[in-house]
Amino acid sequence: MDYKAPLRDMRFVLHELFDATGHCELLGNGLDRELIDGVLEEAARYTGGEIAPLNRNSDEEGVTLENGEVRTPQGFVEAYRQYVDNGWASMTGPTEYGGQGFPQLVACNFHEMLMGASLSFRIYSGLTEGAVLALYKHGSDELKNAYLEKLVSGSWSGTMCLTEPQAGTDLALLRTRAEPQADGSYKVSGSKIFISGGEHDMSENIVHLVLARLPDAPAGVKGISLLLVPKFIANADGTPGERNALSCGAIEHKMGIKGAATCVMNFDGATGWIVGEPNQGLACMFTM
């Protein structure tokens, strides 16, 4: 597949319509027209030269599930390593956690390039950026210090776990439970479906943001909490530690974007920590 980013159109919208340089001057983020254009040119080279060639084969090959482990299509692991090493993953992340703080006004052009080159590849990183935003806005200092830097860098990835077999758009029917523990953590039990990037082999760890109910939760959507449930629990030194009690039970069958792992995720008393206030999980998830 050939993909050529529409740089002329993007520059016109950014500079002639929206005055991105003036916007960045007001924000005081140090970005000027020369730097913005340079980033877009490099992004075009990366997406056109490294990502687009993976698109057709990834859809034909798809992902595979063996013994609970998901293997992404050929070339995805190497391309994702480049994505992280070259700083694309940290583009919009908060600067205090190693991010570059690019405004969405600029970053959305790179994300459009990624989606144009390979939507399957883009899906993995898109959910991570949402997880970063939700954790940054609502997480405790302990959770942010343990997880945000790795998520911002892209060495760890994130997911959004809402949907259940009986609860699609109607989250009032959600059944996943979170039982409080003496140490302040929770044991999360339940199944989620249609989880993008729920399991894969590209990042060292996968951090799930899971909607669940506490034992005394009110009925309906007013009784939903948000919990951070990692595949591997972070050690004190920030490395992935003990494997958590969660697994990928199946890969969803789809008509397209088959290079993206869309998973059934089972949580079997997995250790998690609450993000934000109890019973305010839906508001936190809307941030994501």
Q: What is the DSSP string of 118-132?
A: -HHHHHHHHHHHHHH
- Residue whose C-alpha is closest to residue 147's, from 135, 137, 159: 135
What confidence tens digit (pLDDT) does each residue in 168-226 have?
777 778 899 999 999 999 999 999 999 999 999 999 999 999 999 999 999 888 999 99
pLDDT band at 237; cut points 50, 70, 90? confident
Neighbours of 82 (CB within 10 A): 12
CA–CA separation, 97 and 118 (whole Å): 28
pLDDT of residue 114: 97
Phi, psi of 120, deg, nearest 5 = -60, -45
CATH class of 1-288: mainly beta
Contact 258, 58 (CB under 8 A): yes
**Percent over 70 (pLDDT), the chain:** 100
CA–CA separation, 213 and 280 (whole Å): 10
Assigned token pair, 275:
């993000």
Residue type, 224: I
Does the pLDDT value for residue 1 go beyond 80?
no
> Using alpha carbons only, how large is the chain's radius of gyration in Å?
19
Interval 47-70 mean pLDDT: 95
CA–CA separation, 123 and 254 (whole Å): 14
pLDDT of residue 49: 96
Contact 32, 64 (CB under 8 A): no
């993206």: which residue's tokens? 260
CA–CA separation, 18 and 11 (whole Å): 10
Single pTM value for the model = 0.94
pLDDT of residue 168: 75
Domain boundaries, the chain: 1-288
pLDDT band at 27; cut points 50, 70, 90? confident
Interval 76-82 mean pLDDT: 97
Interval 66-88 mean pLDDT: 96
CA–CA separation, 209 and 178 (whole Å): 13
Contact 7, 40 (CB under 8 A): yes
**Percent over 90 (pLDDT), the chain:** 89
Interval 260-287 mean pLDDT: 95
Q: Cα–Cα–Cα angle for 270, 212, 168, nearest 5°?
A: 120
Interval 225-229 mean pLDDT: 97
pLDDT of residue 288: 86
pLDDT of residue 6: 97
Assigned token pair, 137:
């806005």
CA distances for 135 relative to 36, 37, 163, 189, angstroms? 27, 30, 20, 21
pLDDT band at 17; cut points 50, 70, 90? very high
